Amino acid sequence: MIPDVVLLLAGVAALLTTTLPGIALGARTSGRRLVYGIAFLTCAAMAAIALMHLLDPAATPSAAWLPLGLPWQGAHFRLDALSSFFAFVTGLGGAAASLFALGYGRHERSPQRVLPFYPLFLAGMNLVILADDAFTFLLSWEFMSLSSWALVMAHHQDRDNARAGYVYLIMANFGTLALLLAFGLLSTGGDYTFDAMRDSAHTPATAFLILALVLLGAGSKAGVAPLHAWLPLAHPAAPSHVSALMSGVMTKVAVYGFIRIVFELLGEPQWWSGFLVLLVGGATAVIGILYALMQRDLKRLLAYSTVDNIGVIFIGLGLALAFDANDLPAAAALALTAALFHVFNHSLFKSLLFFGAGAVQASTGERNLENLGGLIRRMPKTAFVFLVGCAAISALPPLNGFASEWLAFQAILQSPELPQWAMKIMVPAVGGMLALSAALAAA
């Protein structure tokens, strides 16, 4: 029987191959249908494989090795429960974006600049999730960054888009450098496989430095404050289906990288690691939604909303670290579940909202909210699904955004069990920040 990780790698190979008709057919209608059609089918199949592996109670981690990259190491790949979950999120988001692009692509100004890089972007995100050594992870991370940068630059003739691509490239390289340094500290004896890193021990000072570097590296890609500067620039510059992938999926790949390194490779957490991540998450949630309230560009508003929701996810991760460090496994499991549930939920409703924004822009040629109004009469179907997405992102019951944020609040209510006074003060304060961001999101 073929291991699931090999099947997913076959899907990655199919996506990489799909770039060829994108180059050959360029702006032709057949090229759009072929590239997005193959991407839809491939991503849907990969999501199904990942979901079956995740739900199979008898499933064990499956590994694969390819003679690529460094000659003495090769490329290691692994599929376990964590990577299965994120591969499912990535596959589902990629399938939805590709299906939307089959129609939306008719309005694309420069399809010859989008079609060759779109499947490469999808492949890069999946490779990051499957990577099982530092070299493969960083190479895949950079591949994901460069292919998405090319999509951001699809309309490079626009001055604002060129600036957005420049800022995004700077931030992407900064993040890769931080992760490179983090892996250098994690490795022992020159062995850069994740298996070797799992068995290594670190002093508190080294662990703090690694955590800080991962927050900088993965956090800059996820969009934590104050490293979120690229999101409100890149999302409006990219085509709407690419914006949906960057906001709904790529930021979650960055969250995956943070979880993989900090929760698994770094070893036993300390309570101060939860404190630091909580502080970053709470500040990110409030800053993101405050900036969103001031926006008049629809896609910029959605980009800042992503910053807010990334803050919610990091609040859950910070709580999980704090509870785990204090040997409270049930509370830690609740907090981590809230974070992962919000990862899945945000990928759904943020993709939906960017699809709606793309439909509005294609129909009206406008993104300025001051110039839009009464579209429910012209676009009733878009108005309905956009309303559903807005209610979900505002954490209104009974939709999925409410469910995951409610779980986060339940985890916050477990904070009296934490022995450190700093945590007893920080967690309720972050709970207030989360409540404030939810109220402002509804506004």
Cβ atoms < 10 Å from Cβ of 267: 17
Residue where the block lists tokens 């508003």: 301
Cβ atoms < 10 Å from Cβ of 18: 23
Confidence category of residue 143, pLDDT binned at 50, 70, 90: very high
Residue where the block lists tokens 């800053």: 287
User: For residue 196, what pLDDT is reported?
Assistant: 86
User: For residue 41, what pLDDT is reported?
Assistant: 95
User: For residue 128, what pLDDT is reported?
Assistant: 96
Closest CA to 234 of 139, 304, 285, 176: 304
Q: Which two tokens stand for residue 271?
A: 């309570």
User: For residue 183, what pLDDT is reported?
Assistant: 92
Q: What single string gives the DSSP state of each residue in 339-380?
A: HHHHHHHHHHHHHHHHHHHHHHHHHHS--BGGG---HHHH-H
Helix (H, G, I), strand (E, B) or coil at 242: helix
pLDDT higher at 59 or 248? 248
User: pLDDT tens digit string along 313-344?
Assistant: 999 999 999 999 898 999 999 999 999 999 99
What percentage of the chain exceeds 90 in pLDDT?
44
Q: Quote the CA–CA distance of 319 and 299 in Å, as a whole number.
A: 31
Paired strand residues for 65? 76
User: pLDDT tens digit string along 78-125?
Assistant: 999 999 999 999 999 999 999 999 888 777 777 778 888 999 999 999
User: pLDDT tens digit string along 264-307?
Assistant: 988 888 888 899 999 999 999 989 888 888 888 888 888 888 99
pLDDT of residue 424 exceeding 80, the answer is yes
User: For residue 27, what pLDDT is reported?
Assistant: 67
Give, in degrees to the nearest 5, the angle at Cα 422 between 418 and 423.
Answer: 35
Q: Positive or negative, the Cα torsion across 45, 51, 56, 61?
A: positive
pLDDT of residue 406 exceeding 80, the answer is yes
Q: Quote the CA–CA distance of 310 and 334 in Å, as a whole number.
A: 18
Cβ atoms < 10 Å from Cβ of 107: 15
Lowest mean pLDDT segment, chosen from 119-123, 296-300, 370-374, 375-379: 370-374
pLDDT of residue 397 exceeding 90, the answer is no
Is 308 within 8 Å of 288 (Cβ atoms)? yes
User: pLDDT tens digit string along 10-60?
Assistant: 999 999 999 888 777 776 777 778 899 999 999 999 999 999 999 988 888
Confidence category of residue 201, pLDDT binned at 50, 70, 90: confident
Q: Mean pLDDT across the chain, nearest whole number?
A: 88
Confidence category of residue 74, pLDDT binned at 50, 70, 90: confident
